[in-house]
Structure 1
Amino acid sequence: MASKVELVVEVKSPAEKLWTAMRESTELFPKIFPEQYKSIETVEGDGKSAGTVRLIKYTEVHVHSGVPMVTFAKEKVEVADDEKKVVSYSVVDGELVSFYKNFRVTVQVTDKGADGGGAVVNWTMDFDKASDEVPEPDVIKETAAKTLHDLDDYLLKN
C-alpha cells in the first residue's frame, strides 16, 4: 500500500544558497557530515541531472532496532529542476530496497519571503512497505530534518 511522509523545514539560509549546497551534496555532505556519510559518488550521469545514479555509503545508521543497519543506498535522480529548485530521486539498490518498494524522495526549496529571509524546504517521501512488519520510516524523516537543520547551520557560518 502506498504511503507518504511529509516534512516541512524552515531554514535561515537563503533558498538559492541552500539549493546550491544540496545540488553539491555529492562533494559537500561527506565533508560536513562525516558522522553520517562515508562517501557519495556518481556512478552514472553527470551527478546533477535526471538519470544520474549516485552510490551513497553511510556510517552506521540504524533504521529500527532489530532491523539491519543501512550501509549503502544507490539512488537515481528522476527530476532535477534548478529553476523550480526541486529534485526527486528513487532508491534503486541497498538495504532500504528490501524494506520499502518504490522508495522515492522529493525535495523542493522555496523562498520564505520576498526579503530573502530564509527558505522553506518541502521534503516528501513516497514508499510502499515490502510487508506489514516493516516499520514506518520515522528515522529517515528525523535524519532528513536533522540534516537540513545542520546544513543550514553550516551555511550560516560559511
Structure 2
Amino acid sequence: MQAFGGKVQSEVEIQASAAQFYNFNRKQLEHLPNISTNINGAKGDWQNVGSVKQWEFTIDDENKAITYSVFDGEVSKNYKSLKAIIQVIDKEHGGGGIVKLTYEYEKQKEDITGLSPQSILEFGIKVTKEIDVHLVKN
C-alpha cells in the first residue's frame, strides 16, 4: 500500500513575546473561537464535562512546543493522520517571537477532496496572526 505523507512548514514573525504566545496556546486555547472568525468550538465550552475537542496534544514546555494530533471531524475524511506542531522562539534581537508551524500528514489517498496540506498551513498562518493581534492589543 502506497503512503501519501509529507510535511509543510512555515515561520511567522509575531509582535507578542514567545512566552505570551506559547502560554495562550498552552492554557487559554478555549478563547480561540472568540479571537478568530475561522475557528468554531467542536461542542460545548471547551472547559467542562461534555465539551469536545477534536485533537490530542503533547506539551513540551522546555522548548515552548505543542504537538496537536487531529483525529476527528472533516480532517479524518481525507487524512489518516495530521499533526500540527507549533513551536515558539524568542527573536534574537528585539521583542516579539517567531512561531514555527509544521504540519505532518498522511492522506487517505493521493487526490483528496478536502483541504490540501498547503491550505491547512495557510489557515494556521492566518490564525497565528489573529492570535498575535489579540495578544498585542490586550
TMscore range, shorter length? 0.7 to 0.9
Question: 2:31 aligns to what?
Answer: 28
CA contact (8 A) 2:56 2:70 kept: yes
Give the match's secondary structure for 1:83: coil
Tell me by how many angstroms 1:6 deviates: 0.5
Instruction: Check conservation: 1:43, 1:54, Cα contact below 8 A.
Output: no
Match of 1:151 among 120, 123, 131: 131
Q: Distance in 2 between matches of 1:150 and 1:38?
A: 14
Q: What's the C-alpha RMSD, in Å, of the aligned pairs?
A: 2.1
The Cα offsets for residues 108-145 of structure 1, whole Å up to 9 and x where unpaired, read as 00001254x11011111011111111163222111110
The answer on whether the counterparts of 1:54 and 1:75 sit within 8 Å (CA) in structure 2 is no
Maintained 8 Å contact 1:13/1:119: yes
TM-score normalised per structure 1: 0.73
The structure carrying a bigger strand percent of its residues is 1
Q: Is this contact kept in 1: 2:80–2:108, CA < 8 A?
A: yes
* 1:2 maps to 2:11: no
Q: How many residues align?
A: 129
Cα–Cα, structure 1 residues 10 and 104, in superposed 2: closer, same or farther, change >3 Å?
same
Stretches of 4+ aligned residues off by more than 6 angstroms: none
Equivalence for 2:19:
16
2:80 matched to 1:101?
A: yes
Alignment partner for residue 137 of structure 1, among 106, 113, 117?
117
- Tell me, yes or no, if structure 1 residue 75 matches structure 2 residue 42: no
State the shift of 1:43 in Å: 7.8
The DSSP-based 3-state class of the residue aligned with 1:145 is helix
Q: Deviations over 1:38-69 (max 9, x none)?
A: 3252588xxxxxxxx952xxxxxxxxxxxxxx
Give the letter for the 2:69 counterpart.
Answer: S
* Structure 1: unaligned runs, 5 residues or longer: 45-52, 56-73
Letter in 1 for 2:6: S
Distance 1:9 1:38, change over 3 A: same
Percent identity reads 29
Partner of 1:30: helix, strand, or coil?
helix
After TM superposition, give the deviation of residue 26 of structure 1 in Å: 3.1
Question: Do 1:89 and 1:105's aligned partners in 2 also have CA atoms closer than 8 Å?
Answer: yes
- 8 Å contact kept, 1:9–1:148: yes
List gaps (5 residues or longer) in structure 2: none
